[in-house]
Structures are given as C-alpha cells and as structure tokens.
Amino acid sequence: MPEKFGVYIPEDLRREIERYMKTLGFRSKSRLIQEALRLFIVEHKWQVSGEVAGVIGVVYNHDVGDVDKELTDVQHKYIDEIISTVHVHLDKERCMLTIIVRGSTERIRELIRQIEGLRGILTLRSMLLSAK
Ligand code: NI
C-alpha cells in the first residue's frame, strides 16, 4: 500500500528544490521525493549490509605530525580489506589518497573511524556500496 504523508520543508530548501525541479524537468514533488528516498537507501544500504565495496577518499596535510606514517600503519592493519591505494600529491602540503576497499561493514567502518581520528586529515569522503 502506498502511503501519503506531509513533509515540512524550510524556505531555503524549498526554493532550491524548485530551481532544480525546473532545470531537471521534474513536474511533481512526489516523484522528486521518491527519487531522493531511493538515493538515500543506496547511500546508506552498506551500513546495514554485511559486506561492502567501494572507495574512501582522503585529503590530508602531510606536514602535520607523522600523518603519512600513521596512514601507512593504519592501512597495514587492514591489509585484508584494502585492495589498492593511489596517492596523488595535490600541492606542496596536501596529498590525496584514494583507497579501494572490500570487506565486512564492521571492519570498513573501523578503518574509516581510525583514519578520521588522525591529525592532519582535512577531508574524508567514502562511496561504499553493498557488496551482497
Ligand atoms: Ni603526497
């Protein structure tokens, strides 16, 4: 059974959504919300799945403490989950690591938490999908 419900949307979000609807050719707000909810599920499905695969992107400042060594140490702890890593030197101080992973949700979550906890990390973004 489909369900109908009211949604509260603040003014600024409403304006932005209407602008996107016009540009993207969405006629109905219901369709837009359905698509947003489906994306939400894809985005979060890995969190409730037993096994995930994907990419963790990290930008960090290599001048801060021992961040380079610490990042290497963390990666060696997750040797079974890390498939490959690409290091890109962005500028004089900043480096970007792209870590390709596959493993249990629990282990990948731990890995992300450990990287996030290191001093010198500027940004961490992950794109993980359910591997089951
Ligand atoms: Ni570098």
Instruction: Give the model confidence (pLDDT) of 75-130 as tens digits.
Output: 999 999 999 999 999 999 999 999 999 999 999 999 999 999 999 999 999 999 88
CB environment 66-80: b (16+ within 10 A), e (fewer) = ebbebbeebbeebee
Q: Are residues 15 and 59 in the same domain?
A: no
Q: What is the CATH number of the domain that holds 59?
A: 3.30.70.1150
**Within-domain flag for 76:** yes
> Can you give the pTM of this predicted structure?
0.72
More confident residue, 59 or 48: 59
- Output the CA 122–ligand 1 centroid distance in Å: 14
Structural domain of 32: 11-46
Q: Are residues 18 and 63 in the same domain?
A: no
**Within-domain flag for 15:** yes
**Within-domain flag for 2:** no
Q: Are residues 64 and 42 in the same domain?
A: no
Q: Are residues 113 and 89 in the same domain?
A: yes
- Output the CA 129–ligand 1 centroid distance in Å: 27
- Output the CA 110–ligand 1 centroid distance in Å: 24
